[in-house]
Structure 1
Amino acid sequence: MNEVEKIRSAEMEYHNTFYKSAKLYQPGSWISKPVANVMEAFELLENSKPLKVLDLGSGVGRNAISIAQKSMDGTVIDCIELLPSAIEILNDNAKDYGVQDKINGIVSSIEDYNIVNSYDFIIGVSTLEHVNDEKAFELVLTDIRDHLAINGVACLIINSEVQEKDTESRELLVPQFEVNMPTNDMQKLVHNIFRDYEFVKEEIKSLNYIINRADKEVNLSTNAVTFILRRTK
């Protein structure tokens, strides 16, 4: 197993375990509500027509379900997710919230998914850094740029400068992120790729929290960068 496979396996194990224990929109976990910046970006859209939405790394529907609830009939949200178990839970959640006609769950890695449609809204929340490598990362960003409709909006939240530390031994661990760029370098890359787009919002949040890795508590710190982008021409 190479390094990327090890990282992806660890991430899949973490999310598989988490999704079995946490219920969507119930207090006490990070899926207790949709991401505020995603919903802020959604409000920039003309919502008087059915929308085409792409959620890259949808999980169990943290953002997609809320967007579906606020969208007109005929809206389709393509939810790309690597974990088959997460797609199963996503479909159950869509039924529970009465939006199953708007949710289209697709099992795929982000880098292997071929974007063919034009989308009004594209989301990538803490997922794009889990593609194979920096080349794949750049290609996915370019694909997003090329498939955003005129007046469409993208909300991308990307982790950078990630560190993971064993909470007991204080030992620095190998971060379980396939792409872990310096914050400034990542911002420059995004600005270059989306140079003809409007940067509606760009902010950096330094985050620090405890996660579980192979039954060990790990302190994860990151600079999470939010980009809200709009295509104007």
Structure 2
Amino acid sequence: MNSEHFEAARQSEADYHQRFYEDHDLFENGTWMSEPGPVVMEMLERLLLHKEDLMVLDLGCGVGRNTIPVAERLKGSLSKVKGVDLLEDAADKLKSNAAEFGVDHLVEAEAADVEHFAIAEDAYDYILACSCLEHTSSMEALTDTLTAMRKGTKLGGIHCITMSTDVEEVDRKTAKSTEGLIELNIPQKQAMELLDRSYEEWNVLIKQAVPQSIEEEKDGRRIDFRCNLITFVAQKIQ
């Protein structure tokens, strides 16, 4: 991807999410923010079987779809949940949402580009990267981000990754299909191969890809955002 295409994709994605967060409330029915990802909460419970106080990192956190429910579940512990998002407004809304839901003492929010965010080594029990890694700038950046995530994870820690691959946009008015304008649009097979290599020394708990279609308004058009959505969960065992 050349820099011009990347910047166009980055701006398009930023504009879409900015508008979406302005127009919709966290956990609003009928939106993709209506509830946390089920696998996110399932893996949290797995960790809590063995440890009460957790350090959690939510990359691409938005306004808290996963961050807030995770923090709510960890109330009463000495846990900390750090959310990182590209948009300053999203980080600010995460802070206000944390206060509204009574978990601001657990939640820290930071505006940063995930691929340039410094992850401290051996710091986290749980790292979420939900619909996040496809917004890195290149395969090299994606690989480097995965490396930093692995180094930043404690023994026994879990990574929960969801990633859109083979992205296309179908105009709901004309039915015309075009390649999705997203920063890193790679085939499912290529993404899976990278994840397999990256986590070959971990215990892979979930590995699947399913077709997904979401109706969106993007760049002034009503579209179906279609992709093969990967869910990949792995636990550090050595």
SS at match of 1:65: helix
Paired residue for 2:44?
42
SS at match of 1:87: helix
Give how far 1:174 is off: 3.8
Residues 1:4 and 2:6 aligned together: yes
Q: Percent identity?
A: 27
SS at match of 1:45: helix
- In the alignment, structure 2 segments of 5+ residues that lack a partner are none
Letter in 2 for 1:164: E
Deviations 1:109-139 (A, max 9, x none): 1111011142100000011110111110111
CA RMSD, Structure 1 to Structure 2 (Å)? 1.3
Paired residue for 1:231?
236
Distance 2:116 2:155 in 1: 25
Give how far 1:8 is off: 0.7
Letter in 2 for 1:95: A
- Give the one of 150, 168, 175 matched to 1:170: 175
Give how far 1:205 is off: 1.4
Distance 1:18 1:75 in 2: 30
Paired residue for 1:23?
25
Paired residue for 2:60?
57
Letter in 2 for 1:93: N
- In the alignment, structure 1 segments of 5+ residues that lack a partner are none
Paired residue for 1:67?
70
Distance 2:185 2:44 in 1: 27
Aligned residue runs from structure 1 range 1-233, under 5 A:
2-46=4-48, 48-71=51-74, 72-117=76-121, 118-233=123-238
Q: Is the 8 A contact 2:167 2:179 kept in 1?
A: no
Give how far 1:147 is off: 1.3
Q: Is the 8 A contact 1:162 1:223 kept in 2?
A: yes
Deviations 1:45-91 (A, max 9, x none): 03643211110000000101001011143211111101111111111
Distance 2:39 2:117 in 1: 24
Q: Is the 8 A contact 1:202 1:225 kept in 2?
A: yes
Moved more, 108-117 or 39-48: 39-48
Distance 2:148 2:229 in 1: 21
Distance 1:225 1:15 in 2: 21
TM-score normalized by the length of structure 1: 0.96
Q: Is the 8 A contact 1:44 1:153 kept in 2?
A: no
